[in-house]
């Protein structure tokens, strides 16, 4: 270990470029910028502009930056926005199709445990709940019933 590394370790600082990257990222966040990859909604990711601030992007997309912001309505049921943004129309289209953001799948380890439980107990969920070896998460009979139904639906859909 060199002298410079020992000094950095004594100070509690990071050695290498990881610290620089972290500082650049924090500085960008302080300036009001955010990386589009950190946004979960794919439609927002597509429309997000890297060179604009968070506030500018949210205003352009027609979404609120502050959830508890006071919104004033003229009368009951009146919508304050006069025109739909591109994001709003994309989200309404997805809602009309009934499309979920992410499909809800069981993890592989849980599938394996449910397969063993169903093989051993069939549909006796009370006995499944008492088996501490196979039901290591200590799920209740009701939770096991829901998970088994979901597992069987996934298996029949393949």
The structural domains of the chain, with segments of one domain joined by +, span 18-66, 108-157
Over residues 16-44, mean pLDDT: 68
Spell out the residues 6+ positions from residue 79 whose beta carbon is closer than 8 angstroms to its own: none
**pLDDT tens column, 94-139:** 888 877 666 678 899 999 999 999 999 999 999 999 999 999 999 9
**pLDDT tens column, 42-60:** 888 888 888 888 888 888 8
* Distance between first and last Cα of the chain: 55
Question: Is 91 a residue whose pLDDT tops 90?
Answer: no
Average pLDDT, the chain: 78
- pTM confidence score: 0.44
Q: What is the pLDDT of residue 142?
A: 96
User: How many Å apart are CA 48 and CA 54, to the nearest integer?
Assistant: 9
Nearest one of 71, 80, 148, 76 to 113, comparing CA atoms: 148
User: How many Å apart are CA 92 and CA 108, to the nearest integer?
Assistant: 33
Residue keyed to tokens 């597509």: 46
Question: Is 11 a residue whose pLDDT tops 60?
Answer: no
Over residues 72-89, mean pLDDT: 63
User: How many Å apart are CA 67 and CA 41, to the nearest integer?
Assistant: 17
User: How many Å apart are CA 88 and CA 75, to the nearest integer?
Assistant: 22
Over residues 28-45, mean pLDDT: 74
User: How many Å apart are CA 78 and CA 104, to the nearest integer?
Assistant: 35
């Amino acid at each position: 270990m060199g002298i410079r590394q020992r000094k950095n370790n004594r100070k509690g600082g990071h050695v290498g470029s990881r610290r620089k990257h972290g500082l650049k990222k924090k500085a960008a966040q302080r300036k009001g910028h955010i990386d589009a990859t950190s946004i979960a909604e794919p439609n927002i990711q597509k429309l997000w502009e890297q060179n604009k601030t968070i506030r500018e992007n949210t205003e352009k997309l027609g979404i609120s930056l502050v959830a508890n912001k006071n919104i004033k309505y003229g009368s009951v049921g009146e919508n304050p926005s006069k025109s739909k943004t591109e994001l709003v129309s994309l989200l309404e289209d997805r809602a009309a199709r009934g499309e979920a953001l992410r499909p809800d799948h069981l993890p592989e380890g849980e599938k394996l445990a449910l397969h063993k439980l169903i093989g051993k107990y069939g549909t006796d969920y009370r006995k499944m709940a008492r088996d501490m070896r196979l039901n290591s998460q200590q799920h209740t009979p009701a939770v096991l019933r829901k998970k088994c139904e979901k597992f069987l639906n996934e298996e029949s859909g393949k």
